Structure 1
Amino acid sequence: MGNRRIKSAERLFSIIEAFREYGRLGVTELSDILNISKANAHHYVSTLRDYDYVVKKNDKYELGLEFFAVAVDTREQSPVYRVAKEDLARLADETGETAWCMVEQNGMGMFIDGYIAGRSIDRESIIGTWKPLHANSAGKAILANLPADRRNTIIDRSELEPLTENTITERNKLRQELKEIQERGFSTNFGEDLSGIHAVGTPIFDQNSEVAAGISVAGSATRLTKEYCKNELAPLVRSVADDIEFNLAYR
């Protein structure tokens, strides 16, 4: 992999990440952070500015909204996102809770869409952020249905960080739960990523019978009891997943 990397591209992405971390930066600040000359920093920033990926405000620069346009276009290109929107909104309305859609890339999950019936969860702070698969219901639903070799690679490489006291952090225990999820067709999350929040998730399969995403419903543990999640919510989430899969195949 190292021999295939382009140094200038690496530098460009490191500049973008610096703006992402620090916000507004001057050329001198950027050169100090990345240990490059001010001339080089200025050349890179000027190039990004020419394409509207960086904008100048007073004597400093920041990321431009062109990145937002790219993100919107990227999400729109996802068949699952386009197909699942209406069903996801319906799921939130029918349950009175929050419905999410997650996709996996490189062993991590990202919520690409969500609909909130109540306002207990900040939707905008969650969409577009990376989440570990092992600690939430949509992620476990995806992980359980990946090809075995890929699933094992992800588990072996993951640190299985404990997000709460209920997070599964033992690999053998996680593998056993994933096996059970695959057999029953849905996953649960009882306070594993956020204390006091319960959730049910299920996979979305594409027309090639490969897992394309996971959807979930999450809410307060006082409303979403374990019994309710398993006996009532899980069949409803699975039914909506079936509708999404049908639309994926025939739209």
Structure 2
Amino acid sequence: MASNNERDVGVDVETGQQGGVQSVDRALTVLEILARDGHAGVSDIAEEMGIHKSTVSRLLGSLVSREMVHQNSERGKYQLGFGILRLASSIPGRLGLVREARPVLESLAEEFKETVNLAVLRSGYAVNLDQAMGPSTLATFDWVGSLTPLHATSSGKVLLAALSAEERDRVLGGIGMPARTPRTITDRNALEAELLEVARSGYGIVREEFEIGLNAAAVPIFNHLGTVIGAVSISGPAFRFDPEEASVLLEGLKQAGLRISAKMGYAGPERMAGG
């Protein structure tokens, strides 16, 4: 085992190399601290690990570049990033929602020939866990692991509508409502009015609010307690895709959400939870 002095200078006594194994060990320790505490600053991490702040900054910089860690721009704190999901999703059976939803996503994409995504709420964002593309879709971007704004996406609106007013205050107060396009809703009262409609209708819609030329619709996914645990969305080019003009599509999307919910143990009425 390496002595404390050897660990301080970054020597791997088995290989004689500087950095190497020690850097990996320290990076994993940073991830463990963030997993335990939710978020932490450079000084907090440096103090706990007993190393210099510049070393912690370099470790965090490397982890951020790999999307393993994300920095909260408001507070300067660091938290786990969703690049970790790309690793976790490769472990069979670890992400039950992804596993159960996958065939439903593929079926929906095949039927309506558009891009389908599965998203959950994490740290004030809608993060995409899985994606299926229709055979003739124009989309090529891989959204898996991407953090998307709640107020500007269909999945985000569904997830927000399922929260209590107090929870929405906390989430939106922390990240704000920045404009992604000229059509993004940035007024809180206007958003609240739309979320009431999302809760009533059971689906959320965006028309070029997240990206010009892109429309989308989403519905909730419930667990065995009737709590919203995710959202399934379908998106396509604005020139040909308007979900509310295609009742068959919306009904198919709602049924897909209920099928995934049933796989997660949901047996209750079709309704949004929370308010």
* Matched residue SS, 1:156: helix
1:143 corresponding residue in structure 2: 160
Residues 1:238 and 2:254 are matched in the alignment: yes
Q: Quick check: which one's helix share is greater? A: 1
Q: 1:36-56, CA deviations, whole angstroms, 9 ceiling, x for partnerless residues? A: xxxxxxxxxxxxxxxxxxxxx
* TM-score in terms of structure 1 length: 0.72
* Matched residue SS, 2:211: coil
1:47 corresponding residue in structure 2: none
The number of residue pairs the alignment matches comes to 206
Specify the code of the residue in structure 1 equivalent to 2:249. L
Deviation of residue 68 (structure 1)?
8.0
| Residue 121 of structure 1, aligned match among 139, 151, 165 | 139
Residues 1:200 and 2:243 are matched in the alignment: no
| Residue 158 of structure 1, aligned match among 161, 175, 178 | 175
| Compared CA separation, residues 149 and 13, structure 1 to 2 (3 A) | farther
1:44 corresponding residue in structure 2: none
1:133 corresponding residue in structure 2: 150
| Residue 192 of structure 2, aligned match among 165, 171, 175 | 175
Deviation of residue 146 (structure 1)?
1.8
For residues 103 and 243 of structure 2, what CA distance do their matches in structure 1 show?
27
Deviation of residue 219 (structure 1)?
0.3
| Residue 117 of structure 2, aligned match among 100, 104, 119 | 100
* Matched residue SS, 2:265: helix
2:61 corresponding residue in structure 1: 18
For residues 45 and 218 of structure 2, what CA distance do their matches in structure 1 show?
40
Sequence identity of aligned pairs in percent?
Answer: 26
Deviation of residue 5 (structure 1)?
4.1
1:191 corresponding residue in structure 2: 208
* 8 A Cα contact 1:99 1:215, kept in partner: yes
Specify the code of the residue in structure 1 equivalent to 2:264. L
Residues 1:249 and 2:265 are matched in the alignment: yes
For residues 65 and 191 of structure 2, what CA distance do their matches in structure 1 show?
36
* 8 A Cα contact 1:198 1:220, kept in partner: yes
For residues 167 and 56 of structure 2, what CA distance do their matches in structure 1 show?
27
| Compared CA separation, residues 69 and 137, structure 1 to 2 (3 A) | closer
For residues 171 and 104 of structure 2, what CA distance do their matches in structure 1 show?
29
Structure 2 segments unaligned to the other structure (5+ residues): 1-36, 67-83, 267-275
1:111 corresponding residue in structure 2: 128
For residues 130 and 16 of structure 1, what CA distance do their matches in structure 2 show?
22
Deviation of residue 15 (structure 1)?
3.2
Deviation of residue 232 (structure 1)?
2.9
